[in-house]
Chains A and B, each alone.
Chain A
Amino acid sequence: MAKSDVKVLGAWPSPFVMRPRIALNLKSVDYEFLQETFGSKSQLLLQSNPVHKKIPVLIHGDKPVCESLIIVQYIDEVWTSGPSILPSDPYERAIERFWAAFVDDKLFPSLRLMRGAEGEEKKAVVEQLTESLVLLDEAFEKCSKGKPFFGGDGIGYIDIALGSILGWLRVTEKISRVKLLDEAKTPRLVKWADRFCADGAVKDVMPETDKLIEFNKMLMAKMKGAPPNQ
């Protein structure tokens, strides 16, 4: 299939954009990465995702697929010759979907709340985040069954969902001066994180923490200067 048959609309700092890129890499599918300019939305994006106007969007042929985890499932179902991202057993699939939803519905929103949080509020958010990460650490034990990833021998659905957040997790640790992934509380996740970031499907799309910190500085400056309701 020609490279231009598969496009990902996105931006390098976005954890959600990483997800389809990792999935396509796992399946050895060539794709064109079309980056949005920060602060504006391209015509292609507005046409492909008129409902949410957000990245990532996968464009396969001329068909757009939106919402990062839905895109990952789509990739898994279309490119069946590559390694499976979701397991075949329905119960195991349900567990993976449950934890991926947990990352998006509980973990990521808490991470966002860290931005600008101070004092008591910060303490409460850190507690929430730690609780969530400890639950995921326990889930790792159950899902991996002694293997290197949530998905077993290779990267799977939860690995992609959670792993894509690692960049921003590390940025938050540095900027807010807290330890979130911790050898004492989340020992399995600490080791897993290193394995995930080193994986061939991940390392070229995982942004460096320093670059993300620079990007975050720019984001903060823009937000401070932006008019209300932006």
Chain B
Amino acid sequence: MMAEEVKLFRSWSSPFPLRVIWALELKGIPYEVILEDLSNKSSLLLHYNPIHKKVPVLVHNGKSIAESLVILEYVEETWKQTPSLLPEDPYERAMERFWAKFGDDKVLPSLWNVFIKQGKDQEEAMVPAQENLTYLEELLRGKNFFSGERIGFLDLAFGWLANMVSVFEEVMGATVLDNQKLPSLSAWMKNFMDAPIIKESWPPRDKLITKHQALRQAHIEKEAPK
């Protein structure tokens, strides 16, 4: 049997490659990390992801796959050892895919929209963001994890919330996720944050704070009345 060669292109801070790292680690698949500086992309990255030029990219025995949720499904289908990331039942799978898409299409952009604004604009942006978070609260009701009793696809898809919400809140000096109103979601964030394997993977918080301070500043300056 040919030796497996698994490479993962990531940046130090992007949450999307983390999804793949979690999946590979949970399944015990050895892999090599290629760290990219996204302001100076390597020719190798551009070769393996010419269309989007983004991380993550998984290269398995020379074949490249891009788009984090696509890669997660690939990992699940290729390495069938436990833990399985997706449920067996097609309806349950459809539900996890639906909510993962909701996370990327709605939750993340709406939280980002709160993060880059201030004053009245930020207040207005809070409304859809909090509505979206309330859906997640309802999803979690009665469960330890989005996928059920243990970490699965949907937890990996939402994993970025566990550390990024507190980074956003610290940098902008405002609360978007009310622990009292969203107790299940708050509990999940703590559990996921501290889960074995997951807890070793977070990028350095101080670096994340500095980076996001600069990002928020840049956006606010752009929007400032001249």
* Chains A and B belong together in one complex: yes
Q: Which of A74, A91, A135 contacts B93 (CB 8 A)?
A: A74
- Bound Cα distance A91, B101 (Å): 21
- Interface size band for B: 20 to 34
Q: Which of B70, B71, B77, B94 contacts A71 (CB 8 A)?
A: B94
B173 nearest CB across to chain A (Å): 31
Is B78's CB under 8 angstroms from A90's CB? yes
Task: Name the CB-closest residue of B to A58.
Answer: B94
Would A94 and B65 be within 8 Å (CB), given that A66-B98, A70-B101, A102-B51 are in contact? yes
A49 nearest CB across to chain B (Å): 10
Interfacial chain B residues near A71, Cβ < 8 Å: 94
B98 nearest CB across to chain A (Å): 6
What 0/1 readout, one digit per residue, does chain B (54-77) give for beta carbons within 8 Å of chain A? Answer: 000000100101110011011001
Task: Name the CB-closest residue of A to B71.
Answer: A94
Is A91's CB under 8 angstroms from B74's CB? yes
Q: Which of B70, B91, B93 contacts A63 (CB 8 A)?
A: B91
Task: Name the CB-closest residue of B to A77.
Answer: B90
- Bound Cα distance A78, B78 (Å): 21
Task: Name the CB-closest residue of A to B132.
Answer: A51
- Bound Cα distance A122, B16 (Å): 33
Would A98 and B94 be within 8 Å (CB), given that A51-B102, A51-B135, A90-B77 are in contact? no
Is B63's CB under 8 angstroms from A91's CB? yes
- Bound Cα distance A142, B80 (Å): 27
The answer, yes or no, to whether B53 is at the interface (CB within 8 Å) is: no
Is A73's CB under 8 angstroms from B97's CB? yes
CB-contacts of A170-224 with B (<8 A): none
A78 nearest CB across to chain B (Å): 5
Is B98's CB under 8 angstroms from A93's CB? no
Interfacial chain A residues near B93, Cβ < 8 Å: 73-74, 77
CB-contacts of B20-50 with A (<8 A): none
Is B97's CB under 8 angstroms from A70's CB? yes
- Bound Cα distance A102, B135 (Å): 27
Is A70's CB under 8 angstroms from B73's CB? no
CB-contacts of A37-96 with B (<8 A): 51, 60, 63, 65-67, 70-71, 73-74, 77-78, 90-91, 93-95
B11 nearest CB across to chain A (Å): 20
B7 nearest CB across to chain A (Å): 15
Is B74's CB under 8 angstroms from A101's CB? no
Which of B90, B101, B102 has most chain A Cβ within 10 Å?
A: B90
A14 nearest CB across to chain B (Å): 18
Is A90's CB under 8 angstroms from B74's CB? yes
Is A101's CB under 8 angstroms from B70's CB? yes
Interfacial chain B residues near A93, Cβ < 8 Å: 73-74, 77
CB-contacts of A94-108 with B (<8 A): 94-95, 97-98, 101-102
Interfacial chain A residues near B94, Cβ < 8 Å: 65, 70-71, 73-74
Is A74's CB under 8 angstroms from B90's CB? yes
What 0/1 readout, one digit per residue, does chain B (78-114) give for beta carbons within 8 Å of chain A? Answer: 1000000000001101100110011000000000000
Interfacial chain A residues near B67, Cβ < 8 Å: 97-98, 101
Which of B66, B74, B102 has most chain A Cβ within 10 Å?
A: B74
What 0/1 readout, one digit per residue, does chain A (104-137) give for beta carbons within 8 Å of chain B? Answer: 0000000000000000000000000000000100
What 0/1 readout, one digit per residue, does chain B (162-174) give for beta carbons within 8 Å of chain A? Answer: 0000000000000
Is A135's CB under 8 angstroms from B51's CB? yes
Task: Name the CB-closest residue of B to A78.
Answer: B90
- Bound Cα distance A67, B60 (Å): 29
Which of B65, B90, B93, B94 has most chain A Cβ within 10 Å?
A: B94
- Bound Cα distance A77, B96 (Å): 14
A-B contact pairs, 7 of them (CB 8 A): A74-B91, A90-B77, A91-B74, A91-B78, A93-B73, A97-B73, A135-B51
Apart from A73-B93, A90-B74, what 12 extra A-B contacts exist at CB < 8 Å? Answer: A65-B94, A70-B94, A70-B97, A73-B94, A73-B97, A77-B93, A93-B77, A94-B71, A94-B74, A97-B70, A102-B51, A135-B51
B residues sitting closer than 8 Å to A (CB atoms) are: 51, 60, 63, 65-67, 70-71, 73-74, 77-78, 90-91, 93-94, 97-98, 101-102, 135
Of all A-B residue pairs in the complex, the 6 with the closest CB atoms, nearest first, are: A90-B77, A77-B90, A94-B74, A74-B94, A94-B65, A97-B70
